Structure formats: C-alpha cells, structure tokens
Structure 1
Amino acid sequence: MLIKLPRSKPLKSLSSKSTTMKQINTKRSPNCSSSSSVQSTPEIEKKYVHRVYDAIAPHFSSTRFAKWPKVSTFLHNLPSGSVVLDAGCGNGKYLGLNDECFFIGCDISAPLVQICKDKGHEVLVADAVNLPYRNGYGDAAISIAVLHHLSTEGRRRKAVEELVRVVKVGGHVLITVWAVEQEDGTLVDKWRPLSRKYLDEWIGPGSPRVRSVGSVSLESIPETEVSVGNKEVSGDEKDKQQEYFVPWHLPYHRAEVSGASVGAVENGLARKDDVKGAIVYDRYYHVFGEGELERLVSGMKNAVIVDQFYDKSNWCVILEKTS
C-alpha cells in the first residue's frame, strides 16, 4: 500500500543515507540568470540539441521506456491530486506514472511532444528556461536529464529558477543530470570532447554566447567548422573535460532516415557510419561533476535541498520551495 506524505513534511530520502536538510546560500552569482540574454537559445543548442531530437524523435522514443526507480518513488510519494509539471518530458515515460496525480508535460522538441499527445498526455512545446506556467501553478516538478543540454551556467541556473517558480510553497522539485563520474567509464571514451579552441571561443567561463572573430560571429559558423575529437584535447584537458558531443546512431532501416537525414549529412549536422549502418547525430552535453549540481542551486533564495544523491551515473537533487 502506498504511503502518502503530508504536505507539511519533506519527502522521504531517496538516497541510502538521508541528507540533512540545509538552507541554500542566498548569495546570487555575478552571472545573474535574470538577464534576457540567458533566454536566447545559443546556436550550439539549436543545432546539437533541438534539431537532433527533432530528427531522432521516434527512434529515441522507442528506446525510452524503463522508469528509474527513484524517479518513480518521488512521483508515487506525492499526495493524491497533486499537479506535476514535467519540464523536458521527452516521450512522456513519466507522465501519468502516478494515476492519483495530474501531469502536464512540456518539451522543446515538437516531434516528441506529438508522440506524447498521441499517447493522450497533456503536453505542450516549451523551453526549460522560460516555462509557460504561472507562479506556484504545480505541486511538484521534475527535470529528468535536461539541464545537461543547456550550454551555459546562466541558462542552467535559470532553468532551476523556473522549476522552483512554477511550484507552490512547500512543493518539491526533482532534478537529475548526467555525471562526469560514469559507472561505466568506457562510455566516456565513445563521446567526442569539444576542443579547447571551441571551449575558449564559444563556451568560455562566463562569456557571452556570441563573440566576434573579425566580422564573423561564431553563431554564423556552420556545423562542419565546429572542431571536435580526441586529437585536439590533451590528456590533462580530457580529465577535466565536461563538454561533449554524445553520438546517437540512427539505423539506416529507420523511417527517419529520409531526405531530412540526408540533408543533415550534407550540412554537417550528421555523418554516415557504414560500418554500423547508421546516421550518427551528435548531441551536446555538459556533464556535471560531483557537487556541481548543488552549487548550481546555491543562488536560490526560496528553496532548500531536502535530498541529494548519485543514481545510475546521474547526480540528483530534490528541492523544496520555501517562499
């Protein structure tokens, strides 16, 4: 029998050892995420996140069906009648998981949202850094494997602020992100680290998303000129690497491999791998190091951490809105 938690108490810890509740530091980062520029989608996300998921949506959905136990536990511990907002819902595998709650999902990918609609879910197209809900609309919110697709700390922080904004006081927010510390270290070897030149010129710490090189802005550089690969990243740099292109192999026999995929190959957004018989798309990831997710939420003045844990190569945190 499912035990419901009273709204006045924090969620039961999902980690093996419960983390003591602690107030998040209210000091704001100099790189304040309230800037309107934070809500402008960088080209790297448009090309290597949005366009990629639009292209692979049906195949991606066919591989996403297993529910993570700790996400399921979080959702099943919510009081009956809770409104749950899933920001970055993908193919909707968590929507409706607790049939005693009401779920609303959103995702930046219209094809993924359509897949959710076809399943009968309440969904809409929306950006994680600009959620289309009024303040305090939901009782809880989840962001599962989303923040690592945002290419600056300011945008990642803004996404967290949005999640807290749209839940009621006393509501809870679960966030998970990919970890640098993967359980299977061989997976990292299959990822394509962004070159130092690319990091310095496009993603540099605290830098604006557009920098001019002569008369040409980096936003105008085509995909084929983005430099990636192990050869340009030294051993020491690779140890510190957190910016990657993670490949997605779309088999030749898939219906999605059509004119659009051919065009993507011609434009440099994807490449052919005849050995594996697939079109390969690169997805942008900023993978999180230990403690980074906790530091990211340190600018929040109206939330506390009620749990934090590592699960299935992901860093995870649960927040409670306090005011």
Structure 2
Amino acid sequence: MAPRSVTSATISEDPLAYEDKHVHSVYEQIAPHFSSTRYKPWPVIAAFLSNIPPGWVGLDSGTGNGKYLPLPADNPSRVWTVGLDHSLNLLKIARNAGGVYREVVQGNVLDQPWRKASFDYAISIATIHHLATYERRKQAIQRLLLAVSPSHGRILIYVWAVEQDDLSKRQIPVVDDPHSVGQPGKDVFVPWVLSSSADSEKLQAEQVFNRYYHMFAKGELERLVSEAAKELGLHVGLKSESAGARRGIDFEQDGWERSNHYVELRCWAV
C-alpha cells in the first residue's frame, strides 16, 4: 500500500475540543495497533536515560505505550520513571511495559498533578506536537520545567520535524524551505491506516484516522523552549554567563534524528 499524503490542517474550534477530536479520540481507537509499531527506542533517548544517575526519579510526559519506562535496558531498576498519558487504552499497555508493573497516571500533559520539582528528569517524546496552539505547546514545556529539580533537573524533548528523512512514510505538503531557520512549522493531519481482514474473502477493510500534528521547523523548538523558560523567570544559557541570575537552563544538545527535532536541557540554580 502506498503511503498516504499528509494534508494541511486548520484549527477552527476551541483547541481543547480540537485535540480531543483529532488526537485523544484517535489514540483511544488505534491504541493496540499503534503500540505494536512502537517498540524500538531511538538512540539519543536511550543514551539520555542510560546516563541518568542511579536513584533518580523521572517523568515520561506522553508515555504512550510506555516503551521508555523500562530503560535503561542494562539496569532498569536503578532509575524509576512515571508515565503520564491521556489515553487510557495506551496506559493499560504501558502499565506492564517490559513485563513489569509500571507506575502510570492518566492526565493531560498540561495538568500539574504533582508538586513542583518532584522529579529529577523528564522526557517528552512525540507529544508536544499534538497540542493545537503555540501557547499550549509553550505551556507544556513550562510544565516540564516546573516538574523537575531547579538545581539539577534534566529534560529531553522530541517533536516531529517538517524536514523528513528518506525512510519516512509521510509525504509532507511543500513548504518554502524546510531547512531555513525562521520558517514557521506546519499544522497537518497525519493519517493512521487501520486494516481489518474479512475472514470469508480475505479482503482488507481500511479505516483511516487523521491525527493532528504541528510539525516543527528548524530552530522552532529551541525558540519555544527559550521563551517558555524566560516567562518562568529562568536565564537561558550557561550558569557562568548568567550575570547574577539565580536559576536557569542550559541547552546540552539539540539536533535532528529520524525526522524529529530534539533538545536536551539541564537546569541549574545558585
């Protein structure tokens, strides 16, 4: 079957209702099939979790089927990651990720169900791009910043990129120049095809579910993180260059991996 094209999307209603219709409802319906395709950790994320100090407690905000909850693979018991997701059907799968009972919580990534600075680290993988407005995406990053320790917290964020690699199954509508910093991202519907076989005739009946995504342009995630941090009164940059600021974040790394933009942040305080 040929890949289905991504189509442009327009947010024409209340963003929460829009996300309920075009994100949350979809994942509830496709959860088992979606989970069966999400099992291999991405290298940068696996490396990040492998470098977390023993004894730390973390948050996986938008955990999906929980594939990152058992990491690091060499000794998953040395760190403890709590999974948060809106989809109850995905959480039922995540609860037993890796064949071990996991701590998972149902909720929106914009919720604050825990005290500030409850976690040592946080990851948000392929989640923030499902939020339908700039302000809601920024707020989700602020929830991560508030969730981790202000003195040593570490955060890793992944979002889908306008710039897709050669292995991508997504055919993205043309933009002016996806490699150019300063270009806006793109609101799109990405189809998920769910097939069921008719036993008598072995015919494939397809259901197509369109999921909303904001696909990020180059540099957009870094700018969003910087603005989110500054609104919380955080300095963005090295502690040694903070000019007297008491708290801040530093970009440990940023990059592009397999059609995703990512940033790794480290919090600091004096």
Band the TM-score falls in, shorter-chain normalisation: 0.7 to 0.9
Matches within 5 A, 1:46-125: 46-98=20-72, 99=76, 100-119=78-97, 120-125=101-106
Q: 1:296 maps to what in 2?
A: 224
Q: Structure 1 residue 177 and structure 2 residue 159: aligned?
A: yes
Distance in 1 between the 2:221 and 2:144 partners? 14
Report the CA distance shift for 1:150/1:83 in structure 2 as closer, same or farther (over 3 A). same
Distance in 2 between the 1:54 and 1:159 partners? 21
Unaligned stretches of 5+ residues in structure 2: 1-13, 179-183, 235-247
Match of 1:135 among 116, 121, 126: 116
Q: 1:177 corresponds to which letter in structure 2? A: V
Q: How many residues align?
A: 222
Matches within 5 A, 1:124-273: 124-168=105-149, 169-184=151-166, 187-189=169-171, 242-253=186-197
Single out whichever of 308-317 and 115-124 deviates more from structure 2: 115-124
Mapped contact 2:95–2:104 kept (Cα < 8 A): yes
- 1:322 shift after superposition: 2.3
Distance in 1 between the 2:109 and 2:225 partners? 15
Structure with the higher fraction of residues in helix conformation: 1
Q: Alignment partner of 1:290: what SS?
A: coil
Q: 1:28 maps to what in 2?
A: none
Q: Alignment partner of 1:280: what SS?
A: strand
Q: 1:90 corresponds to which letter in structure 2? A: G
Single out whichever of 237-246 and 175-184 deviates more from structure 2: 237-246
- 1:276 shift after superposition: 6.0
CA deviations on 1:143-195 (whole Å, 9 max, x unpaired) are 00001101111000000000011111211000000000101387443x6x6xx
Query: What TM-score does the superposition give when structure 1 sets the normalisation length?
Result: 0.64
Distance in 2 between the 1:42 and 1:70 partners? 31
- 1:44 shift after superposition: 1.6
- 1:42 shift after superposition: 2.1
Q: Alignment partner of 1:285: what SS?
A: strand
Report the CA distance shift for 1:111/1:83 in structure 2 as closer, same or farther (over 3 A). same
Q: 1:264 maps to what in 2?
A: none
Report the CA distance shift for 1:322/1:48 in structure 2 as closer, same or farther (over 3 A). same
Q: 2:210 corresponds to which letter in structure 1? A: D
Mapped contact 2:185–2:214 kept (Cα < 8 A): no
Distance in 1 between the 2:60 and 2:168 partners? 31
Mapped contact 2:185–2:216 kept (Cα < 8 A): no
- 1:237 shift after superposition: 7.8
Q: 2:159 corresponds to which letter in structure 1? A: V
Report the CA distance shift for 1:310/1:44 in structure 2 as closer, same or farther (over 3 A). same
Mapped contact 2:185–2:220 kept (Cα < 8 A): no
- 1:141 shift after superposition: 0.2
Higher relative CO (Cα under 8 Å, sequence separation at least 6) belongs to 1
- Identity of matched residues, %: 41
CA deviations on 1:24-70 (whole Å, 9 max, x unpaired) are xxxxxxxxxxxxxxxx8522211110000000001111111011011
RMSD: 2.4
Matches within 5 A, 1:6-45: 42-45=16-19
Q: 2:238 maps to what in 1?
A: none
Unaligned stretches of 5+ residues in structure 1: 1-39, 194-234, 255-274
